[in-house]
Structure 1
Amino acid sequence: MKHITAAILLVLTLIGCKSNLNSAEVAQQKQQLEQIAVKIKQDDFQIVMNTAYPLATNAVTNVLNGILIPNGDSANRIDLSDRDDYIELGNKSVKGELSYFGERRISSGYGNQDTGIEFNGIPTNYTQYIDYKKGLVRVEYQISNQAESFDITIEIFTNRKANINVSSSHRSNIRYTGVMEQIKELPL
């Protein structure tokens, strides 16, 4: 009876434990990550946002729930599929236009109608590296516009899905998810 119990435990342990990637899968993942890292530097790829996750304080939650619930969104998760939110990638120049939901902590002046996050220029403190263990390419940089500065962290996975964290000098933090794709040129 002890041998049967031990055998059953051994089988359950082997079934329950997911094996690590085999060497062919590791090599394929490494190649995919290296291709993504090269494409990021080419300046013709962007991340199109599909969801925003604002830092939900009580004030933000109360306001956003009153506005967003009829649309099916909540203060913690906002669908951006009907918007054109994006970040253009590159190490020489970056551009971004993102909807913003959250608290603005410092005013950027009277009459400023800019409610979203917008930047366009040369990033500072730009770093890009491949984390083979986590299976992602991480890009970090700082960028400023006329009113505020942003710390941007982008994590792109082998399936080209991305997590984007934006930390602002004037606003509460916000996180986005999106998909990396090639920038499409408009027909003339």
Structure 2
Amino acid sequence: MRKLLLCISAIGILVSCSSSNTVINSAHPIHELMKTKQIIFEAQSASPMVTSSLNAIADNGLIPSGSTISRIDLNGNTNYLKIFGDSVSADLPFFGERQFGGGYGTDTGIEFNGLPESYSQEFNSNKQKYTIRFQISDTSDLYTIYMEVFPNQNAVVSINMANRNPIRFNGTIKALKEEE
């Protein structure tokens, strides 16, 4: 009898600890926000691809306080990725290595503004998230953007570049206002 009671309570604990799947309905505000194509992503942290060069930088104490080389805190830094209609623009910091020689200058971040190529946006009802994909180029690089937007307005942006190592940003989205 005691073994039976122990088995039943163990099964009850396992069932109660299982994850729940929250399904959002069609009236959820995230659907309207994504339909407008007037959003701004603001990064709170950057996760560069960790290499031996970045480890050497971290060993010399050259990363911001409160950060690690695999997660750099961006709070207080102005950065964005905007989607407005059929155009996109971004001004995001870059932490990582350039793979091929580049020009000299002060434009070392991820900066672009224009019409993207092969833009797609879809909602995955099984995973309860929006996925946005597009490519855009500037004078020195080709960017492939993959963005995941969740119902709580958290977002993850992964950027692959032709001449630099990939980087991922975690942050939030909100509606783009006219003056932004």
TM range (shorter): 0.7 to 0.9
Matched, 1:155 2:148: yes
- Tell me, yes or no, if the aligned pair for 1:91 and 1:126 is still in contact at 8 Å: no
**Which residue of 2 is the match for residue 9 of structure 1?**
10
Structure 2 counterparts to residues 49-88 of structure 1, below 5 A: 49-66=43-60, 67-68=62-63, 71-88=65-82
**Cα gap change, 1:13/1:60 in structure 2, threshold over 3 Å: closer, same or farther?**
closer
Which blocks of at least 5 consecutive residues in structure 1 are unaligned?
Answer: none
Q: Go from structure 1 to structure 2 and tell me whether the alpha carbon gap of 1:126 and 1:19 turns closer, same or farther (over 3 Å shift).
A: closer
Structure 2 alignment gaps of length 5 or more: none
How do 1:129-148 residues align onto structure 2 when only pairs under 5 Å count?
129-148=122-141
Q: Determine which of 93, 96, 108 is the counterpart of 2:87.
A: 93
Q: More helix per residue: 1 or 2?
A: 1
**2:42 paired with 1:48:** yes
Kindly state the Cα deviation for residue 140 of structure 1 after the two structures are TM-superposed: 0.3
Q: Which residue of 2 aligns with 1:172?
A: 165
Separation (CA, whole Å) in 1 of partners of 2:30 and 2:178: 25
Q: 1:139 to 1:154 in 2, by over 3 A?
A: same
Do residues 182 (structure 1) and 168 (structure 2) align? Answer: no
Which aligned pairs between 1:24-43 and structure 2 lie closer than 5 A?
A: 26-28=23-25, 31-39=28-36, 41=37
Q: How many angstroms does 1:60 deviate by?
A: 1.4
Task: Kindly state the Cα deviation for residue 14 of structure 1 after the two structures are TM-superposed.
Answer: 3.0
1:106 Cα deviation from its structure 2 partner: 1.5
In the alignment, is the contact (CA less than 8 A) between 1:36 and 1:137 conserved in 2?
Answer: no
User: Percent identical across equivalent pairs?
Assistant: 28
Which residue is equivalent to 1:114? Answer: 107
Distance verdict in 2 for CA 1:130–1:7, change over 3 Å: same
Shift of 1:68: 1.3
TM-score (norm 1): 0.84
Structure 1 residues 13, 178: closer, same or farther in 2, change over 3 A?
closer
What SS does the aligned partner of 1:102 have?
coil
Tell me how far apart the structure 1 counterparts of residues 17 and 24 of structure 2 sit (CA, whole Å): 25
Deviation at 1:61, TM superposition (A): 1.7
**Equivalent position amino acid for 2:71 in 1:** R
SS in 1 for 2:101: coil
**Residues in 1 aligned to 2:149 and 2:24: alpha-carbon distance in whole angstroms:** 18
Mean alpha-carbon deviation: is it higher for 50-59 or for 2-11? 2-11
Count of aligned pairs? 178
